[in-house]
Amino acid sequence: MYNIIDSKKIWFSISGFLMAISILALVIWGLKLGIDFTGGSLLEISYENNRPEITQIEESLAQIDLNNVKVQPSGDNIFILRFENVDEDKHQVVLNQLKSSAPDSGLVEEQRFESVGPTIGQELKSKAIEAIIIVLIFIVAYIAYAFRKVSKPVASWKYGLAAIAALVHDILIVTGVFAILGYFLGVEIDTLFVTALLTILGFSVHDTIVTFDRVRENLFKIHNQSFTEIVNISVNQTIIRSINTSLTTLLVLLAIYIFGGQSIQYFVLALILGVIVGTYSSIFIASPLLVWWNKNS
């Protein structure tokens, strides 16, 4: 049986390093918000033959009164264009201009068009933050209730706070990675990213609760060992189950990431990162944190 709890300084150091990098990335670069949050229009087009140069598209759209057009290649013969919020008439003007300016590239097809006003974008951003905060509050309340009969040596509500600390760890690292991706690769976050974060919260806390539940059971069954030893036994009893669950989930997500569409690629990437980090925190952060709290309270 591996003594995970006694090695908590190693796990805390690894997590502290990753969290520090994530905080720096978020402070320095921040997250690159998509049109879901900032407002604007997104047009995805595909070319039948070889796609033209980015400069050619920008020059053709310069004739239309659009502010700050951004052109991004995506996959084979596909471009994603982002510009100010436009109505349907102007949308058609843009599309016709693209078709007429690239005769050598063959047929131009519209794959996707989205338009979000700035007011709606700000409202979506506020609702996303509210959703995450509400979920965290309910998680603490539920765990405190579920562990209400366990009061020694750690109060029931501390199980909830330990779980929340692990969740903050998971969300911070995932958002930090996307801040880095946004700066270097121009990856934008949208409502799908928020959906991924909420899914990560649910997945990670599920693993943590399974471990804590085994701690609760062992506290009633084992009376001749210390709290640290009981927690270590509980983690070792559930670690294989946690890893197996995560591996099977990752296999599915990897298949979707490789064979799925471009539009959900970064959504799936966020889930993959969340599953990996969430499994790690459930085993190596949440339970050792309980023991640390018991010794220092």
Q: How far apart are CA 164 and CA 285, in angstroms?
A: 11
Same fold, 5-30+120-296 and 40-116: no
Q: How far apart are CA 35 and CA 115, in angstroms?
A: 8
Cβ neighbours around 177 below 10 Å, total: 19
Domains of the chain, by residue range, sit at: 5-30+120-296, 40-116
Q: What is the pLDDT of residue 66?
A: 79
SS (H, E, C) 188-212: CECHHHHHHHHHHHHHHHHHHHHHH
Q: Kindly give the confidence (pLDDT) of every residue in the chain, 297 residues in length, as a single tens digit, with 9 standing for 90 and above.
A: 788 999 999 999 999 999 999 999 999 999 998 887 877 888 898 888 777 888 888 888 888 877 778 888 877 788 888 888 888 888 898 888 888 876 665 678 888 898 877 666 678 778 888 888 888 888 888 887 877 776 577 777 888 888 899 999 999 999 999 999 999 988 988 888 989 998 998 888 888 989 998 998 898 888 889 999 999 999 999 999 999 999 999 999 999 999 887 778 999 999 999 999 999 999 999 999 989 988 886
Q: How far apart are CA 84 and CA 283, in angstroms?
A: 46
Q: What is the pLDDT of residue 120?
A: 62
One-letter amino acid at 178 equals F
Among candidate residues 160, 152, 294, 167, the one with its CA nearest the CA of residue 216: 152
CA angle 253, 139, 164 (to 5 degrees): 80
* pLDDT tens-digit readout, 193-206: 989 998 998 888 88
Q: How far apart are CA 48 and CA 240, in angstroms?
A: 50
Q: How far apart are CA 291 and CA 25, in angstroms?
A: 31
Q: How far apart are CA 211 and CA 234, in angstroms?
A: 6
Q: How far apart are CA 261 and CA 187, in angstroms?
A: 16
Question: Which residues lie closer than 8 Å to 67 by C-beta, 6 or more apart?
Answer: 83, 84
Contact 64, 93 (CB under 8 A): yes
- Give the CATH fold of the 40-116 domain: Alpha-Beta Plaits (3.30.70)
Rounded to two decimals, what is the model's pTM? 0.84
- Give the CATH fold of the 5-30+120-296 domain: Multidrug efflux transporter AcrB transmembrane fold (1.20.1640)
